[in-house]
Chains A and B, each alone.
Chain A
Amino acid sequence: MTKQVTLTIDGKQVTVPDGMLVVDAAKEVGIDIPVFCYHPKMEPVGMCRQCLVEIGRPMMDRATGKPILDDKGAPKLQFLPKLETACTNPVSDGMVVYTQSEKAKAGQKANLEFLLTSHPLDCPICDKGGECPLQNLTMAHGPGKSRFLYDEKMHLAKNVPLGDLIFLDQERCIQCARCIRFQDEVAGDAVLGFDERGRSTQIVSLSDPGFDSVFSGNTTDICPVGALTTADFRFGARPWELSSSASICSQCPVGCNITFNTRREAMSDGRIVIKRVMPRQNEEVNEIWICDKGRFAYHYAESEKRLSKPLVRKDGKLSRVSWDAAARAAGEAIAKAKKDLVVLASGRLSNEDLFNLKSLADQMEGKAVLYTHMGGGDLVSLVGVGQGTNFGSMGEGSTIVVVASDLYEEAPIWYLRVKQAAQRGATLIVANPRETKLDRFASFVIRYSYGDEVKTVHDLTKKGKIGDAFVKAENAVILFGSDGLGLDGSTALATACARVLSDTEHIGKPNNGLIGVWPRANDQGAWEIGFRPEENLAGALKGKTVYVVGADPAGDNPALAKALNGAEFVVAQDLLETETTKLADIVLPVQAYTEREGTFTSGERRVQRFYPAVPALDGTKPDFAVTSQVAKEAGVILEGTSASVVFDIMAEDVKSFAGLNYARLAEVKPQWPIVGRGDLYYGGTTYENKHGLGAWLSSAAGRSEKFTLPRVQKVEELRPKEKKLLAVPVTKLYDRGVTVESAKLLNQRIGEAFIALHPSAAEQFGVEAGERVKLSLDGVSEDVVVKIDETISTGVVLVPRSMGLPISAPTEASLKVAKKVAVR
């Protein structure tokens, strides 16, 4: 344990770990020292000079090394003639700090006055007004009157786009460099910098395209003034008009804790709408950060394609019917189907939804099929990371392996936290067939060819530098993904990972085990509940009664559309109108997750609650309730009144949920750094977590159960043939998925559909970077733009998922130069 140090701050005795900064020690005992540049998540720089305090240190006798005492026997204190910055001085034994003495207060006040000489009188029109550290501190301690002539104020540009998402108001910037340092130290995308110097110092973007980072939105939370605003929320509302609801981001398996800020507004026809998404502190999940996809891709629930009435096909056309009629028709079809029922659902749904669906399938002795291209979740259920796992606590002694995943694109906050762990001393091994952003922070980069995933993982236990780093590590975690892999490939990879973890005893304890980098937020939940993917999905649907929930197979892949057309009966349950709902026999409209409550299971197998943020669209119901109603008509009784009851039943039923209950998920405990509490200058506008930190599921290994891991199934090796290309799927953060597409802001980031080729492959096919070509996969063709990637092997072509070409697994591709048009 680190040494403890006792000091006195404003008369209060404080005992804190040695090395802690005075500002943090004060915070611990509820004394808020004003700061602007200091942020508890970043290295102190001492540049704003706001945190000036008086610090006295006991005078030491050089000869004896003991404190010199005064006549009363108290240690004599030595104060420097000048004030000191609380954010750069570590505590020491016997230190005495005055944060509120006349001298300290005068120093803080003087500094504020300096800041205000260059600050515009923008509060009434500033987005930060109402939650602005500078405004608050000025109200509390600032000079009442300006001594700086208004005419002499600097006038600077007020809406400088740093990129397409973030705007800079140069007048408001107080040059605290928090944004620069966040991008550099925390996010690892050092894309911001200062230009010029002195009073002309300005924030600039150093990247092309501007502010090229998926973490950019966080800078607006920690900017202590209204200098940085998002294109999304800018001039959108005043903070005090907003209500907040706790939620969980549904965009990826990280499960970031968020807060939805909502407002009833005239411009939305008097409806209550979401105005912005803010991070909510959960130090074990997302700390106080979220990525830009989570922050900006929330508009889909407002889409014009929202379904609001149950529909039943009559005379070939979908027509509106009552809920009762629709449920009855669906229930009858399901009752009739019995074993021939296929419930096809995705990890977009909550645990409660999936549990009811699985119960229905089980009762009918039908199948519960997970709609995904990635396998291995059953293995994660066995050897998933132990309860208590926290990337934030990994450092020296921990080894993190990332295989077949581009975390930056697939799970940005994991990327951020794995990077931080590596910088704290964890050994990071990145194995991928192509270069990824995480490579820079890796101790070892393994570059294998597509198809060699399993071998690569087996080699982790071989003697040698890498093998030792993995085998001998105190803790080891493997994150596996599906870069270039389909269902069987990723299943084989997961099996290999599970086996090496198990063989090296890296399972069943905190900071050890397997994590799947799933395509959807609640895929792991679906696996836990018992959903399994189908190798041949099209085949499995033929002639069946298909209950599709939260998925659009028909829109994703023409082959699946065909299969659904060949099904006996299709009940589609969704939020939006999709290709699948268009061909269904019955359509059941549901609520967005922002309109209801429930739980998601993150990739780290943490169950977390989300709460309703906006009123539900008229006519819609939550998925689990719809399923319950349909089931009832099919003669099956399922809970349908509340998510909490469904959850508690699930906890009885599903082993990994045992011991949990809905209420427990809402428990909180004190977290460090302390955010919220009304002082916005310390942690930023990040929300305090008052609605639950969630809880881990148990794994079979964690429960010390006996289990046998399957053998690695040999996968048919697809290797690029001579003069042919092997198309492999990769995942992009900003794709044409429904959530991103409906966020207009992100559209520019999606870009055109592209493929990536090795330079020599490009040469072989006579194409160049930026050229538009026609790529055909399994009979489907699409115009795409060529990119060059030197780090991939020559015979492959990377095809991003959800960008127009249906690709779920590696497949042969043919390439034709469409027209020689150069795109920029």
Chain B
Amino acid sequence: MSYVLLRHRDIPDINTLNVYKKNGGFEAFKKVVTKMKPGEVTDTVKASGLRGRGGAGFPTGVKWSFIDNKIWPHYVVANADESEPGTFKDREIMESNPFQFLEGVAIASYAVGANAAYVYLRGEFWQVAKFLDEKIAEMEEAGYLGEKLFGTDYSLHIYTHLGAGAYICGEETAMLESIEGKRGMPRIRPPFPAVYGLYGKPTVVNNVETLTNLPMILANGADWYKNMGTPDSAGVKVFSLSGRIRKPGNYELPFGTTFRQLIYEHGGGVLDGRPVKAIMPAGASSSFIVADEKVLDMQMDYATVRTLGADLGSASVIVIDDTVSIDWIINKTIHFFKHESCGKCTPCREGTYWMMHLIEDIRDDKHSTANVDLLLNVARQMQNKCLCPLGEFSTMAVVTGIERFPQDFKESNKQVLTEPA
């Protein structure tokens, strides 16, 4: 099977305009602009079953249809913040298959009637941004971006925008604030961006990978896409595989691929041949899945992973073997979230800070049992109270780690707290 998203692995130099064009590049965009109504594009995307790859898995076409057509202008924002620990797929796409991504941005923009689109990249991606700027300029030169495209009245400009290195700016409303030049802090929702987005105007925010699917869907049709993956989760997904794995990296596979296939067939198995103890399917924001033989044969799609008490999220699969103690991992995730909490709301700002002290105390083996109980209690107390999902994310690994791996938090467990071998 050939690649849908990571097509550079099949086609060398697809990151040059000519090679991209030769391989059908911009045909889809040209087709939608010259032959389709915006609503038809949205309908096609709805029919394809494409769901957002940024984490929530929300049906993309449905999201577009929420755009308020009474208020103008509209904007499209591509979420290239990619800050979830363990996620590194958008970067590969943008670096190696940039035109397909940008064409996706263009198709989405046409579908919702946006004449300006922004690509918001995390600050560390400044080189990627520079690279994209060049590619955007090439597209303008070649007449794929700019005024009155393909002889129609439709105009589109794409701009890159760099963040300053904050995980929270991946959250869509914080991102919009950041583009507006304000502090990256989430807004209260509702209103959702589709109604009140960038500069208060209706806005669609989509993940890089989501958007990169679009040219292929529009070129090959909704059915072609829907036939891949599972009924619940159509199409292909780039799985970012990391952790105690022989061959970490990005793997583009259809939804429904099993954990075992990903880890053993593609990832080459666990380091030192150890058994898989736990899986974090969505980076640091994950709940822990207790891995056993049965679980390894489960399919990776949104619905199935949910039955395991976790979310597939951005599909950043972190493999944990029996040399790693769960409390060591949650020490890392808590520090991460404590560091990234924007500070806007009380439970997250204070809770992550409190949890950090508790996990440090647990590491230092002070009053362990009491502290573990308290940590679990604090994490639960934070839940359902935070302003945005980040605060909720910060509790996932903590609660599921302590609940599902109690032995790793026992004072008797001497292996606890050691760095992984």
Contacts and interface: CB of A to CB of B under 8 A. Distances in A.
Given A49-B345, A194-B343, 16 more contacts: A46-B345, A47-B344, A47-B345, A85-B188, A110-B381, A111-B347, A114-B347, A114-B349, A115-B350, A117-B354, A149-B357, A175-B344, A198-B339, A198-B341, A198-B353, A201-B343
B352 interface: yes
A45 interface: yes
Contacts, number: 90
A69 B339 CA distance: 48
A82 B384 contact: yes
Task: State the main secondary structure of chain B at its contact with A.
Answer: helix
A49 B353 contact: no
B338 interface: yes
Nearest to B343: A201
Nearest to A201: B343
A202 to B, nearest CB: 9
A111 B349 contact: no
A147 B340 contact: no
Contacts of A52: 385
A152 B367 CA distance: 15
Interface string A37-65: 00000001111111010000000000000
A200 interface: yes
A47 B342 CA distance: 11
A81 interface: yes
Contact of B343 (A45, A82, A113, A175): A175
A197 B345 CA distance: 11
Interface-centre pick from A48, A147, A199 (highest chain B CB count, 10 A): A199
B355 to A, nearest CB: 11
Interface string A73-96: 000000001110100100000000
A49 B346 contact: yes
A84 to B, nearest CB: 10
Contact of B385 (A44, A49, A175, A193): A49
A400 to B, nearest CB: 25
Contact of B351 (A47, A83, A114): A114
A49 B392 CA distance: 14
- Which 10 residue pairs spanning A and B have beta carbons closest together? A201-B343, A82-B384, A114-B350, A198-B341, A199-B353, A46-B188, A152-B357, A198-B343, A110-B381, A47-B344
Given A198-B341, A198-B352, A199-B341, A115 B346 contact: yes
A194 B184 CA distance: 11
A197 B385 contact: no
B308 interface: no
Given A44-B188, A88-B188, A149-B357, A117 B350 contact: yes
A243 interface: no
A197 B343 contact: yes
29 contacts: A46-B188, A46-B345, A47-B346, A49-B385, A81-B384, A82-B384, A83-B384, A85-B188, A88-B188, A107-B385, A110-B347, A110-B385, A111-B346, A113-B381, A114-B350, A118-B353, A147-B374, A149-B361, A152-B357, A154-B353, A174-B346, A194-B343, A196-B343, A197-B342, A198-B338, A198-B352, A198-B353, A199-B349, A199-B350
Interface string A160-202: 0000000000000011000000000000000001101111110
Given A114-B351, A147-B374, A194-B183, A45 B188 contact: yes
Contacts of B338: 198-199
A611 B344 CA distance: 43
Contacts of A193: 183
Contacts of A49: 345-347, 385-387
A113 B385 CA distance: 13
Interface string B372-411: 0010000001101111000000000000000000000000
A199 B354 CA distance: 10
A85 B166 CA distance: 26
Q: Which of B344, B346, B357, B381 has the most CB of A within 10 A?
A: B346
